[in-house]
Structure 1
Amino acid sequence: MAGYAPSPSRPDEPSAHAAPAHVQRLLDALAGFPSYAIAPDWTICGWNAAYTTLYPNVATAGPDERNLLWLVFTDPYVRDLLPDWETTSRRFLAEFRAEAGPRLGDLARSPVIQRLLRVSEPFRDAWQSHHVEGFTSRERVFRHPVAGTVRFEHHRLAPADHPDLHLVVYTPVAG
């Protein structure tokens, strides 16, 4: 009513390849906590050094490949990093669907979805399930090649001035 409603995103709009400068500064300020920012199409558009330690390939992936769904379903490092990859990959897709809301019917035409349908059998199978599940903060377990098994709580925030951008922050689990 007051003109503050976010404008709906369209799946065919190009995503920003870089987080706004103030969002990147916030990510950097969270130095001890692996953190990243994702655009509405789940392009990873910002991250901090701690996230690079957890997932080094984020810094070397090209902008068109730096999409969370793409990386979860195609990067062998991510598959090895997630001991529960089968469950986690399907849950990410269900969360992606939930966030798409009214755009869900248009997602099949999105470039990343089309590429995943062509190259990833696990993605094709999961895509056919049509499962939808909202994001919840939860414990995440990673099998890091150097640090071993690490546990974090997984949280998501949205900046008030960029409500379509999500910041994901991993905080250590005690013990």
Structure 2
Amino acid sequence: MSIAAPEHRTQQPAQQPRARQIRRRELAAFLRSRRERITPEQVGLPRGPRRRTPGLRREEVAQLSAVGVTWYTWIEQARATHVSAQVLDAVARALLMDPAERAHLFALAAAVDPRVDPECPVASTSARKIVERLAPYPASLQNARYDVLVANRPFAQVFGDPAELPPAERNCLWLLTTSERWKRDFLDRDEMLRDLIAKYRAAMAEHVAEPAWKERLAGLLAVSGEFRELWERHEVAPMSPHVKRYRHPVVGLIRLEHRNMWLAPQSPAHRVVAYIPADEESEERLEQLERLAVPAEPADERPADEWAAG
């Protein structure tokens, strides 16, 4: 069964914003280039004696992807004002696109890929080094969903070690919502939770169809009535630096300013979150924690006469 062309979605190009026209033309050119590089033999079709078209014909792509011939022709002529994820998925498979080509196809169509691979949870070596080198300041590597991918030793000392938690719980929203330690030690916890939920909602606007985002949201809604109540307010907030107070059981009050450094502008968008002391007293207490974490050197147990001999 073919996917028919939705007649109500076609308009004259002159009526569309210029940016959309450019995007449609790029999409059309990309599809033509991919179609022309695939031979009939690669997709199990006979070449035939009279073939003049390089690669596949439009009719053959339509047949392989179960898309209407007219609708596919419109896409390649930059006449289709909206191409669904279902059609894009079918065409990508018919044209044997690799992951990079598939991602480019969906980006040109301004559509969310329903079959996008899950993020790799392994952070790069360079990102790990950046986080570790920020000691004695707490720092972590997070993605746009506030999952903590890497944390340095000061982070573990102040907030707890994420490595001791199940992977599903290594998330700032999850911890603010469920962790007794975070509820106790984060003196601005209620304000932080409202702010973080508003930021998550703002960020999720670009990822509403992505499984990882929906799964994280569903888990939070299921585990916390407080989260459900705040989520229903539909508040949004931008990313911005701010100072928060933490009560450490050993060194006392620490005031930290959150600073974000994005490592990549595209998905998966990872950022280093550094927690910078907001005053000299907080800096001294972080340095104290760092000293406590360094094991003392073992005492030299040589007899006294050996000391004299050097």
Fold shared by both chains (TM-score > 0.5): yes
Deviation at 1:10, TM superposition (A): 7.2
- The residue type paired with residue 167 of structure 1 is V
- 2:142 pairs, out of 23, 38, 50, with 38
**Is the deviation greater in 37-46 or in 108-117?**
108-117
Question: Matched residues, percent identical?
Answer: 25
Please give the alpha-carbon distance, in whole angstroms, between the structure 2 residues aligned to 1:26 and 1:42: 18
- 2:190 pairs, out of 64, 86, 90, with 86
Secondary structure of the residue aligned to 2:165 is: coil
**Is the deviation greater in 20-29 or in 108-117?**
108-117
Please give the alpha-carbon distance, in whole angstroms, between the structure 2 residues aligned to 1:9 and 1:165: 19
Asked if the contact 1:17/1:63 (under 8 Å) is kept, the reply is: no
Structure 1: unaligned runs, 5 residues or longer: none
The residue number in structure 2 matching 1:171 is 276
Please give the alpha-carbon distance, in whole angstroms, between the structure 2 residues aligned to 1:114 and 1:108: 10
Secondary structure of the residue aligned to 2:279 is: coil
Deviation at 1:15, TM superposition (A): 3.5
The residue number in structure 1 matching 2:153 is 49
Deviation at 1:144, TM superposition (A): 1.6
Please give the alpha-carbon distance, in whole angstroms, between the structure 2 residues aligned to 1:121 and 1:13: 31
Please give the alpha-carbon distance, in whole angstroms, between the structure 2 residues aligned to 1:9 and 1:76: 37
Q: Residue 114 in 1 paired to residue 218 in 2?
A: yes
- The residue type paired with residue 171 of structure 1 is I
**Is the deviation greater in 96-105 or in 22-31?**
96-105
Please give the alpha-carbon distance, in whole angstroms, between the structure 2 residues aligned to 1:74 and 1:59: 17
TM-score norm. by structure 1 comes to 0.85
Structure with more of its chain in helix, by fraction: 2
> 5 Å matches for 1:147-162?
147-160=251-264
User: Could you report, residue by residue, the CA deviation over 1:38-68 in whole angstroms, capped at 9, with x for unpaired residues?
Assistant: 1122211011111011112412011121112
Asked if the contact 1:37/1:166 (under 8 Å) is kept, the reply is: yes
Please give the alpha-carbon distance, in whole angstroms, between the structure 1 residues aligned to 2:182 and 2:230: 17
Q: Residue 96 in 1 paired to residue 200 in 2?
A: yes
Larger Rg belongs to = 2
Paired residue total: 171
Secondary structure of the residue aligned to 2:168 is: coil
User: Could you report, residue by residue, the CA deviation over 1:112-153 in whole angstroms, capped at 9, with x for unpaired residues?
Assistant: 211111111111111111110011111111112222110011
Deviation at 1:35, TM superposition (A): 0.3
Deviation at 1:106, TM superposition (A): 6.0
Please give the alpha-carbon distance, in whole angstroms, between the structure 2 residues aligned to 1:10 and 1:140: 38
Structure 2: unaligned runs, 5 residues or longer: 1-22, 24-103, 281-310
Higher relative contact order (CA 8 A, sep 6+): 1
Please give the alpha-carbon distance, in whole angstroms, between the structure 2 residues aligned to 1:31 and 1:109: 31
Please give the alpha-carbon distance, in whole angstroms, between the structure 2 residues aligned to 1:9 and 1:116: 23
Secondary structure of the residue aligned to 1:150 is: strand
Structure with more of its chain in strand, by fraction: 1
Deviation at 1:103, TM superposition (A): 2.3
Please give the alpha-carbon distance, in whole angstroms, between the structure 2 residues aligned to 1:105 and 1:133: 21
The residue number in structure 1 matching 2:167 is 63
Q: Relative to 1, partners in 2 of residues 1:99 and 1:123: Cα closer, same or farther, differing over 3 Å?
A: same
Secondary structure of the residue aligned to 1:141 is: strand
Q: CA RMSD in A?
A: 2.8
